[in-house]
Amino acid sequence: MNSGRGRRIELLFLAALLLLSLGLRFYRLGQASLSEDEAAKWTAIQKYRHGHFAGVNSEHPMVMKMLAWGSLDAGEHYDRWALAHGWPHIRDVAWLRLPIALLGSLTALVLYWLGRQMIGPLGAGLAAFFWAVSPLSISMNRVLKEENLFVFFTLAAFACYNRGKLALSDRESKKWFLLSGAVFGMGQAAYYLTIAQFGLIVLIWHIANQGGIRSRDMGPYFRRMVVVMGLVFLLCNPVVLSPKDLGAMLRYSEEKTIQHRGYLVDGQVYLNNALTTPFGLPWYFYIWVFLVKTPIPIIAAAAAGIALLFFDRTSLISIFLRVTLTFWFVPYALFGSKWIRYLVIILPSVYLAAGWAVDRVYAWAKGRRWAWRPAVAAAVLTLVAWPAANALAWTPYNRLYLNAFGGGRKNVGRFFPPDEVYDLGVREADQYVARVAPHGAVVSASDPMGTRYYMHRFGRPDIRIVPLFDPDYEPRSGDYILVQASRRYFETSPLINLIRRTHHPLLRVRDDGLDVVEVYRF
């Protein structure tokens, strides 16, 4: 295949991959209710619009909120056009999530770019495809969470850094190193732990150079790269200089902002806080999640790629995977606070391992008898068709996906409801309460910020919202209590048990065949 034709095929593949990624992430993007964290971001954006930036949602940097703000403004312009021209209405929740869904889709292309620097086009293409169709990555890319930006900017910064190390000239090397610094700075302004990834890529190339892989020396450009990183970080996140924000981050790190504790796993509530390290959720939590929420062919390929690490210890891809997997798994497995969104951080490395294994098997088969080739081609098709079919079958409920190891649809919502069921059904429950509740009624909810958002949307600002987990809350006759399948904490379990024993729900909200919210009147 000549280089021109190969380039055209590569571009066509990437275009098709991007369209697939966009479709899986944009389809019914506003279907799930606004979550508690998303409601906090929405509230912060309203304050931004009035010129208040310092001390607003301070534990998180600005970039994601600024992107969401721009998207909401675009949505308001669209709504005016839609009203005038009869176009379909798009929920503001979808506009809020749109930048994350877009960058999550583009992450597939960035992952391909990074993988192409270390393995062949087949392996890099499969890694990018796995990201595009994996239920774990799709579901995360449909929620307004900072980890999505962390993955995107980190992979892009890694790819730029690699280009600098592998550049043919000092001039080209300098350009890529400075660009890498700028992307790292942007990533730091989106997720404060991005700086650790800069240390990892430096370590990766230190090990690679010690092992004989030749590259450009970044010595002359290191200080400039760090300066660029710092300047971009401050430019994109100036509130970090505010004493209010610094104080808020300190309180957040000391867990003084946490109002409830507990993570429901398979019917049991576990401690899930940083200060409980190394206790709380079991250390194998992320392995369990990956094994039941990933299509089985991808699991098999990833296992083969990890096995390859024991035989190939000198290639750049091997060093990259050993460093990123080790420095992610050890701390995150022991860390007391565990959420599925933290697993998404390492998925690109897992998919690169899977693509690398397939690439090696395909290279081996090319030199063997022709009879091997159809078998390998069939295996590759399985790796493509099976995950793609799963993604299409479960969209837009990809977060509920369970493979055969997890029991499939019969066990939906059973194992990890805080991350799977999340805040499904809250909008419908709030709409019901807004319709039937008398003026000035009290509603107690485990997602008070989301419920407050919807009560205002449904024209009921008179309703008083009380957190169900408030230690001073005592239900009174006439109170409406929302019980979510996903939000069961140590603080709320006794009250929920009491209500379910003594009251019948006024409404059960079901979504995708699952009971997600119950509405009671005390």
CA distance 418 to 340: 9
Amino acid (one-letter) located at 431: Q
Query: Among all chains, which residue has been given the structure tokens 């503001």?
Result: 92
Say yes or no: 467 and 337 in one domain.
no
285-294 burial, b at 16+ Cβ within 10 Å, e below that, comes to bbebbbebbb
pLDDT on residue 163? 93
CA distance 522 to 516: 19
Say yes or no: 439 and 486 in one domain.
yes
CA distance 458 to 460: 6
User: Do residues 158 and 114 touch, judged by C-beta distance below 8 A?
Assistant: yes
How many structural domains does the chain have? 2
Amino acid (one-letter) located at 514: L
Q: Find the helix or strand (DSSP H, E) in which 518 lies.
A: strand 514-521
Single out the residue in 361, 381, 398 at which a domain terminates.
398
Tell me, yes or no, whether 410 lies in a domain.
no
| pLDDT tens digits, 25-54 | 999 999 999 988 899 999 999 999 998 888
Say yes or no: 122 and 169 in one domain.
yes
Q: What percent of the chain has pLDDT over 90?
A: 68
pLDDT on residue 257? 67
| 255 pLDDT above the threshold of 90 | no
| 373 pLDDT above the threshold of 70 | no
In whole angstroms, what separates CA 414 from the centre of its chain? 21
- In 323-455, which ranges are E strands? 442-445
Say yes or no: 394 and 431 in one domain.
no
Say yes or no: 392 and 433 in one domain.
no
∠ CA 119-120-126, nearest 5°, is 90
Tell me, yes or no, whether 210 lies in a domain.
yes
pLDDT on residue 7? 86
pLDDT on residue 53? 85
Say yes or no: 249 and 292 in one domain.
yes
Say yes or no: 495 and 376 in one domain.
no
| pLDDT tens digits, 425-473 | 999 999 999 999 999 999 999 999 999 999 999 999 999 999 999 988 9
| pLDDT tens digits, 304-335 | 999 999 999 899 999 999 999 999 998 998 88
- Secondary structure, 3-state, 122-152: HHHHHHHHHHHHCHHHHHHHCCCCHHHHHHH
Q: What domain range includes position 446?
A: 423-521
Say yes or no: 367 and 429 in one domain.
no
CA distance 183 to 310: 32
Residue 219: pLDDT band by 50, 70, 90 thresholds?
confident
Say yes or no: 112 and 226 in one domain.
yes
Q: What would the two tokens of residue 513 be? A: 């065949």
Say yes or no: 240 and 175 in one domain.
yes
∠ CA 421-423-426, nearest 5°, is 125
Say yes or no: 344 and 427 in one domain.
no
* Mean of the per-residue pLDDT values of the chain: 91
Closest C-alpha to 165, from 199, 114, 205: 205
Closest C-alpha to 17, from 401, 358, 351, 373: 351
Say yes or no: 352 and 481 in one domain.
no
Closest C-alpha to 422, from 193, 93, 71: 93
